[in-house]
Structure 1
Amino acid sequence: MASSADVHVRICGQEIIKYDLEIKALVQDIRDCPGPQSVLMQLNSQVKEKFNKLRMRIQDLEQMAKEQDREMDRLAIRAETESQRRQMLSNQTAWRKANLACKLAIDKTEKDELLHGENQVTRQRKVTKENLVESSSNITESLMSLSRMMAEQVKQSEDAIGTLGTSSRTVQETNEEFRNMTGTIHLGRKLILKYNRRELTDKLLIFLALALFLATVLYILKKRIFPFI
C-alpha cells in the first residue's frame, strides 16, 4: 500500500506535468498569434501565471525529496526535480523565441497595413476629386429644395396666423355674448327677488286686512248681541 508521502509526490508530479503542457500550448498560441499587441500581452500574462505555479510545484517536489527517509527515494525525486527544472528552462527559452517571432510578425503586419492605408488614402483622394463636382451639384440642389421648403413653411405660418386671428375674434365675440347673458341673468335674479319681496308684502297686507275685517265683524256682532256690555 502506497504511503502518504508517495501519494503527495505523485500528485505534485502530475500537477507539474499539467502546467508543463499548458505552458507548451500557450507558447504555441503565442507563436501563431496574428496580433494585435493586446492579445499577445494577454497570452504572456497567462504564461507568467503558469510558470509561477510550475516553479512553486517544483520547489514543493524538491522539499519532498529532502523529507524522504530512504536515500534511493530521495535521489529519485531529486533527479525528477532537476529534469523538470531543465524542462522549465527549455520552455522559457521557447517562450522568448515565440515572443520574438510574434512581435516581428505583428510589426510586419502593421507596416503592411500602414502602406496599404497610404495607398488607400491616395485612391480615396482621387475619388474625392472626381466626386467634388457631383457633390457640389447635389449641395446646390439641396439648397434649392430647402429654400422651396422654407417658402412653403412661411406660407403655412401665414395661414396659421390668419386662422388664429379668426379664432381670436370668435373667442372675443363668444366672451361678449357670455357677458351679455350674465347681465341678463343678474337682472332676472333681481326681478325675481323683487317679486318675491312684493309677494310677501301682499300676503302680509291681505293678512292684516283680513284680521281687521274679522275684528270689525266681531265688534259689530258684540254690539248687536250684547248692547249693554
Structure 2
Amino acid sequence: MASSYDVHVRICSQEIIKYDLEIKALIQDIRDCPGPQSALFNLNSQVKEKFIKLRLRIQDLEQMAKEQDRESDRMDIQAETESQRRQLLSNQTAWRKANLACKLTIDNTEKDELLQRGEAYGTRQRKVTKESLVDSSSHITESLMSISRMMAEQVNQSKDTISTLATSSRTVLETNEEFKSMTGTIHFGRKLILKYNRRELTDKLLIFLALALFFATVLYILKKRIFPFI
C-alpha cells in the first residue's frame, strides 16, 4: 500500500491480517481436532467470532476507500478490500472442509468406541447372562425341591385323610350294624310287650270270670240255706 495511506488504513489492514492469521490457525486446529464434539463446538465458536470481527474491519476498510480524496488511494484500498474479501471466502471454504474432516474423524472415533464398548458390554452381558442362568437354575432347582416337598407333604396328608376316612367308614358300618341289631332287639321286645299285654288281658278276664263264678256260687249256697223251699 502506498506511503500516502493514512494511519487508520494501516491499522485496519494490520487488524485484518491478524484476524486472517488467527482464523487460519483455528481452521488448522479444527482439522487436527480429535474430538469430542464439545471441543469442535468451542473451536467453531472462536472462528465465528473472528469472522465477525474480520468482516467488520473489511467493511471499515471499504468505507475508508470511499472517503479517500485521491483516486489512486481509493483504487488501492478497494483492491486491498477485494483481496481481503476473497481471502475471507477462501477461509470460509477451508473452514467448511476442516469441519467435514473433523466430524468424519470424530464419527469414526465414536464408532470405534461404540464398537469397543459394544464388545465389552457383550462380554459383560454374556458373563452376566451366565451368572443369571446359574442363579435361575439354582432358583428353579430350589423351587422344584420345594414343590416336591410340598407334594410329599400333600401325599402324606392324603394318606392320613384316606386312613381317617377308612376308619370313619368302618365306624359307620359298625354303628349301622349295631343299629340293625338294636332294631331287631326293639322289634322283638315290642312283640314280647304286645304278647305280655294280651296275656295280661286274658288273666284279667279269667280272674273276672273266676270271681263271677265264685260270687255266683256263694249266692247260690246262701239262697239254698236261707230259702230252702224256694
Q: What TM-score, normalized by structure 2, do the two folds share?
A: 0.54
Question: Which one-letter code corresponds to 1:60 in the other structure?
Answer: D
C-alpha deviation, 1:113, in angstroms: 0.9
1:14-53 deviations in Å (ceiling 9; x for gaps) = 0000000000011111111111111111111111110000
SS in 1 for 2:68: coil
The alignment's C-alpha RMSD in Å is 2.6
Report if aligned partners of 2:65, 2:73 keep a CA contact under 8 Å in 1: yes
Distance 1:49 1:95 in 2: 13
Q: What is the match of residue 112 of structure 2?
A: 112
Report if aligned partners of 2:31, 2:102 keep a CA contact under 8 Å in 1: yes
Q: What TM-score, normalized by structure 1, do the two folds share?
A: 0.54
Distance 2:53 2:36 in 1: 27
Question: Which one-letter code corresponds to 2:103 in the other structure?
Answer: K
1:43-101 deviations in Å (ceiling 9; x for gaps) = 11111110000000000001111111111111111100000000000000000000111
Q: What is the match of residue 55 of structure 2?
A: 55
Distance 2:84 2:122 in 1: 56
1:164-211 deviations in Å (ceiling 9; x for gaps) = xxxxxxxxxxxxxxxxxxxxxxxxxxxxxxxxxxxxxxxxxxxxxxxx
| Larger CA Rg, structure 1 vs 2 | 2
C-alpha deviation, 1:127, in angstroms: 4.2
Between the aligned residues of both structures, percent identity stands at 74
Distance 2:83 2:129 in 1: 69
C-alpha deviation, 1:125, in angstroms: 3.1
Q: How many residues align?
A: 135
1:118-171 deviations in Å (ceiling 9; x for gaps) = 1111222344467789x9xxxxxxxxxxxxxxxxxxxxxxxxxxxxxxxxxxxx
Q: What is the match of residue 121 of structure 1?
A: 121
Distance 2:93 2:125 in 1: 48
Question: Which one-letter code corresponds to 1:34 in the other structure?
Answer: P
Q: Which runs of no fewer than 5 residues in structure 2 stay unpaired?
A: 136-230
Q: What is the match of residue 79 of structure 1?
A: 79
Call closer, same or farther: CA 1:98–1:36 in 2, change over 3 Å: same
Please tell me whether residue 103 in structure 1 is matched to residue 98 in structure 2: no
Call closer, same or farther: CA 1:97–1:3 in 2, change over 3 Å: closer
Q: Which runs of no fewer than 5 residues in structure 1 stay unpaired?
A: 136-229
**Superposition map of 1:31-46 within 5 A:** 31-46=31-46
Distance 2:132 2:83 in 1: 72
Q: What is the match of residue 6 of structure 2?
A: 6
Distance 1:31 1:100 in 2: 9
Distance 1:12 1:37 in 2: 34
Distance 1:58 1:129 in 2: 65
Question: Which one-letter code corresponds to 2:78 in the other structure?
Answer: R
Report if aligned partners of 2:16, 2:57 keep a CA contact under 8 Å in 1: yes
Distance 2:48 2:129 in 1: 53
Distance 2:74 2:29 in 1: 37
Question: Which one-letter code corresponds to 2:91 in the other structure?
Answer: N
